[in-house]
C-alpha cells in the first residue's frame, strides 16, 4: 500500500469521530456515502469515515494495483502464482456464445457443452424420465461435497427456495461426521436416488468417504455395478479418479483448474441450484454475477461497490484494528450466506505472506461471522451494541419478499434499520437517565441505572438493500463479495487463490487416524496422546 497515503490514514485513524455529529453537521452525508449497482443499493454513511478519510481511501485504491490485477485476472494470467493457475471463474458467467480464449484455446464450446449436459439431465429429472435401476423415476438427489463444492450450492438452494420448481428433493452431505450420511439416506430409496460426487480434486477425504458410504448403501440394497453406474454422477477435474470410483465417463461433468473451489458455484458445482430452479433461472444467477463483473470493471472507484466494501474493510482491519466482521442478512433464506462468505473471504485472504512469500506487516482477512436477523438481536447483538469491541457489520435486506406476511416484513425491515441506527447513534448517559426518570423512578435510581443503559454508538455498519432475493440479485451479491475479496487481496499484495494453510491439519490427521483405527502405533505430543487415550477409554467403557 502506498506509504504516504497509508501514513495519512493511520494518522486520521487516531482522531475520534462522532457519527452523530457527522450526520448532524452534514445533511448530505447519507447521499454522499451511497452507491447503487446492478440494482443493489449500498448505504455506507454509517461508517467511521469523514470526507478526508474517504478521499484518502480512494487514493489508496487509485495508487494500488487493483486495475492492473483485475485486467490480468480477466485475460487469464496465472495470478494464482503458487499453483500456476489462472483465476477465471468469470468466464463461466460470461455472455453465451462469445469466444473465451485461455492460452490461445477457446473454452467456450467446452463450457457450453457442460451447460447443455446439465440442462439435459435436469429436463430428464424434472420430467421423471431419468429412471433408476428398478425402472422408477428419480425422486431424490444426494449431493456429496465439502467446502467450495458444497457451500455455494447449499447456500443458493436455501436462498432461492421460493423459486423451487423441481420434483426432485435435494440433500447435501459434506461433513465426515457419519451422522450426516446416515441421516441423509434415512427414508430414501436407492432405486429412486441419484448421487452426485462433487469434488474438483476427487481426492478430498470427507467426500471420498461419504461417497463410499453411499455406494455401500446402494450395494447393501441390492444394486450391482451397472446400477451404481446408472445412479452415480460426478463433477470433477480428476476424471481418472472419478472413473476409478466407478463413475462412467458420460456422467462426469468437467471442472477446470482455473476455477477455485470457492469460486465454483458458476460451474457444474451449481448443478443443484440449476436443478432446483430450472436452467432459465440458473442463467439469471449467472446474469446477475455478470452484471456485477461489468460494474466492477467499468465503474469509477467512488461508485464501485466491491472497491468501496474492500476499502472500508481495509480501513477497519488495518487502521482501526478491528479483527472481526459481521454479516447479518435480514432474510431467513440468506441465513447460509455468512458461512459461504466465511470460506470465500477467510480461505482466500487468511494469509501472512505476500505473493512473493515475504512476511506481511499488516493483518489481512477479518473473522467473518453472522446469522440471519433478527435472531442475532436476541443473542450476540448485545456485544455489538455495548462492548468495547467495534465489529463492522454488513446488514443485508431484500425489499420485496415471496411470502404474503407483509406486516412481518415491515417489522423485519424496521429491526434491520433500527439496529444500524442504534449502533451508529448509541445512547448517552443523559438520554439513559432521562429514560429511567420518565418511568417515575427517583433521581438516585436513574443515576445508578443509567450507566448500564448507555450504548457508546459509533459502531460502523453498511446496509445493502436488494430489490428482492431473486436469482439475478443473488448472483450479483455473491459476485460483489468475490470482487471485494479480490480487491483486498490486491491491496495486501497476497495470493487470494491458494489455501496451503488447510493442508497441515489434513496431513496430521492421517497418522492419528491410523492409531485410532488400530493400524499403527505412533508417538505424538503429550496432549494429543492423552486425548487419544481418554477418547479410547470413553469408547471402550
499 part of the interface to ligand F6P, by CB under 6 A = yes
CB 214 within 8 A of CB 269: no
Burial call 337-364: b when 16+ CB within 10 Å, e when fewer: bbbbbbbbbbbbbbbeebbeeeeeebeb
Nearest CB to ligand F6P, comparing residues 463 and 499 = 499
Q: Which of 22, 206, 283, 347 is catalytic?
A: 347
Q: Of all residues in this chain, which one has the CB nearest to ligand F6P in the complex?
A: 261
Among the listed residues 149, 276, 331, 393, the single contact to ligand F6P using CB under 6 A = 149
CB 87 to ligand F6P: min, Å: 13
Alpha-carbon distances of 281 from 192, 270, 286, 359, 440, rounded to whole Å: 25, 12, 9, 45, 58
Residue 342 touching ligand F6P (CB under 6 A): no
CA distance 384 to 386: 6
Among 132, 152, 190, 261, the residue binding ligand F6P under the rule CB under 6 A is 261
Q: How far is the CB of 116 from ligand F6P (least distance, A)?
A: 23
The nearer residue to ligand F6P, 201 or 428, going by C-beta atoms, is: 201
Beta-carbon contacts of 399 under 8 Å, excluding residues fewer than 6 positions away, are: 413, 465, 466, 467, 468
Nearest to 112 by CA among 102, 99, 122, 125: 99
Rounded to the nearest whole angstrom, what is the least distance from the CB of residue 156 to ligand F6P in the complex?
15
CB of 182 to ligand F6P, least distance (A): 21
User: Whose Cβ is closer to ligand F6P: residue 56's or residue 264's?
Assistant: 264
Q: Which is nearer to ligand F6P, 19 or 195 (CB)?
A: 195
Which of 28, 186, 378, 452 does the annotation list as catalytic? 378
User: Which of residues 12, 62, 72, 201 is near ligand F6P by CB under 6 A?
Assistant: 201
| CA atoms 373, 376, 382, 386: torsion sign | negative
State yes or no: residue 153 binds ligand F6P (CB under 6 A): no
CB nearer to ligand F6P: give 148 or 329.
148
For residue 207, state whether it binds ligand F6P (rule: CB under 6 A). Answer: yes
**One-character DSSP codes across 122-170:** HHHHHTT-SB-TTSPBP-EEEEE--GGGTHHHHHHHHHTGGG---SSEE
The cell for 166 is 423441481
- C-beta of 261 vs 272, nearer to ligand F6P: 261
Residue 506 a catalytic site member: yes
Q: How far apart are CA 458 and CA 422, in angstroms?
A: 9
Give catalytic status of residue 378 as yes or no.
Answer: yes
Whether residue 156 contacts residue 165, with contact meaning beta carbons closer than 8 Å, is answered with: no
- Tell me which residue of 311, 328, 344 sits closest to 479, measured CA to CA: 344
Q: Which of 448, 502, 531, 533 binds ligand F6P (CB under 6 A)?
A: 502
**Minimum distance, C-beta of residue 261 to ligand F6P, in the bound complex (Å):** 2
| Closest CB to ligand F6P among residues 47, 204 | 204
**Binding to ligand F6P in span 347-386, by CB under 6 A:** 347
How many beta carbons lie within 10 A of that of residue 463, not counting itself? 22
Enclosing H/E stretch for 425: helix 406-425
Q: Is 262 in the site for ligand F6P (CB under 6 A)?
A: yes
11 close to 4: Cβ distance less than 8 angstroms: no
The number of C-alpha atoms within 13 Å of 424 and in the hemisphere containing its C-beta is: 24
- 274 is a contact residue toward ligand F6P (CB under 6 A): no
What residues contact residue 413 under an 8 Å CB cut-off, 6+ apart?
330, 397, 399
Q: Is residue 147 part of the contact set for ligand F6P (CB under 6 A)?
A: yes
In the three-class reduction of DSSP (H, G, I as helix; E, B as strand; rest coil), residue 268 is classed as helix
Residue 148 near ligand F6P by CB under 6 A: yes
CB of 207 to ligand F6P, least distance (A): 5
Please give the residue ranges that form the binding site for ligand F6P (CB under 6 A).
146-149, 199-201, 204, 207, 261-262, 347, 499, 502
Tell me which residues are annotated as active site: 347, 378, 506
Amino acid at each position: 500500500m502506498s506509504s504516504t497515503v497509508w501514513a495519512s490514514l493511520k494518522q486520521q485513524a487516531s482522531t475520534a469521530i462522532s457519527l452523530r455529529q457527522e450526520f448532524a453537521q452534514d445533511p448530505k452525508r447519507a447521499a454522499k456515502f451511497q452507491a447503487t449497482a446492478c440494482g443493489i443499493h449500498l448505504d455506507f454513511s454509517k461508517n467511521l469515515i469523514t470526507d478526508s478519510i474517504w478521499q484518502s481511501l480512494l487514493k489508496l485504491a487509485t495508487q494500488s494495483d487493483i486495475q492492473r490485477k483485475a485486467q490480468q485476472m480477466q485475460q487469464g494470467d496465472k495470478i494464482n502464482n503458487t499453483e500456476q493457475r489462472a483465476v477465471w471463474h468469470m468466464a463461466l458467467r460470461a455472455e453465451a456464445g462469445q469466444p473465451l480464449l485461455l492460452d490461445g484455446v477457446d473454452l467456450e464450446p467446452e463450457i457450453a457443452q457442460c451447460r447443455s449436459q446439465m440442462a439435459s439431465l435436469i429436463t430428464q429429472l424434472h420430467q421423471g424420465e431419468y429412471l433408476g435401476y428398478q425402472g422408477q423415476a428419480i425422486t431424490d438427489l444426494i449431493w456429496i461435497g465439502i467446502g467450495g463444492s458444497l457451500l455455494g450450492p447449499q447456500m443458493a438452494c436455501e436462498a432461492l427456495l421460493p423459486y423451487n420448481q423441481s420434483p426432485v428433493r435435494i440433500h447435501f452431505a459434506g461433513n465426515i461426521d457419519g451422522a450426516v450420511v446416515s441421516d441423509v439416506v434415512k427414508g430414501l430409496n436407492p432405486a429412486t436416488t441419484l448421487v452426485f460426487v462433487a469434488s474438483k480434486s476427487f481426492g478430498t477425504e470427507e467426500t471420498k468417504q461419504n461417497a463410499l458410504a453411499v455406494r455401500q448403501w446402494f450395494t447393501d440394497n441390492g444394486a450391482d455395478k451397472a446400477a451404481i453406474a446408472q445412479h452415480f454422477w460426478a463433477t470433477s477435474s480428476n476424471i481418472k479418479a472419478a472413473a476409478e470410483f466407478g463413475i462412467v465417463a458420460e456422467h462426469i461433468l468437467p471442472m477446470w483448474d482455473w476455477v477455485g473451489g470457492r469460486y465454483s458455484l458458476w460451474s457444474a458445482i451449481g448443478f443443484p441450484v440449476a436443478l432446483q430452479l430450472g436452467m432459465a433461472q440458473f442463467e439469471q444467477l449467472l446474469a446477475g454475477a455478470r452484471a456485477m463483473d461489468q460494474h466492477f470493471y467499468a465503474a469509477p472507484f467512488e461508485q464501485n461497490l466491491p472497491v468501496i466494501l474492500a476499502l472500508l474493510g481495509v480501513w477497519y482491519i488495518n487502521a482501526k484494528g478491528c479483527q472481526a466482521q459481521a454479516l447479518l442478512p435480514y432474510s431467513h433464506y440468506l441465513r447460509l450466506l455468512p458461512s459461504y462468505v466465511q470460506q470465500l473471504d477467510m480461505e482466500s485472504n487468511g494469509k501472512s505472506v505476500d505473493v512473493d512469500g515475504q512476511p506481511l506487516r499488516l493483518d489481512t482477512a477479518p473473522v467473518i461471522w453472522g446469522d440471519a436477523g433478527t435472531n442475532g438481536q436476541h443473542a450476540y447483538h448485545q456485544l455489538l451494541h455495548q462492548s468495547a469491541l467495534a465489529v463492522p457489520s454488513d446488514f443485508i435486506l431484500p425489499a420485496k419478499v415471496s411470502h404474503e406476511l407483509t406486516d412481518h416484513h415491515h417489522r423485519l425491515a424496521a429491526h434491520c434499520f433500527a439496529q444500524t441506527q442504534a449502533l451508529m447513534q448509541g445512547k448517552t448517559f443523559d438520554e439513559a437517565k432521562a429514560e429511567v426518570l420518565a418511568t417515575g423512578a427517583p433521581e438516585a435510581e436513574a443515576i445508578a441505572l443509567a450507566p448500564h443503559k448507555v450504548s457508546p454508538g459509533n459502531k460502523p455498519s453498511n446496509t445493502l438493500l436488494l430489490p428482492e432475493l431473486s436469482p439475478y440479485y443473488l448472483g450479483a451479491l455473491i459476485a460483489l463479495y468475490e470482487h471485494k475479496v479480490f480487491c483486498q487481496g490486491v491491496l495486501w499484495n497476497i495470493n487470494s487463490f491458494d489455501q496451503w494453510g488447510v493442508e497441515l491439519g489434513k496431513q496430521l490427521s492421517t497418522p492419528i487416524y491410523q492409531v485410532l483405527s488400530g493400524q499403527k502405533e505412533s508417538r505424538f505430543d503429550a496432549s494429543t496422546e492423552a486425548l487419544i487415550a481418554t477418547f479410547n477409554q470413553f469408547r471402550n467403557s
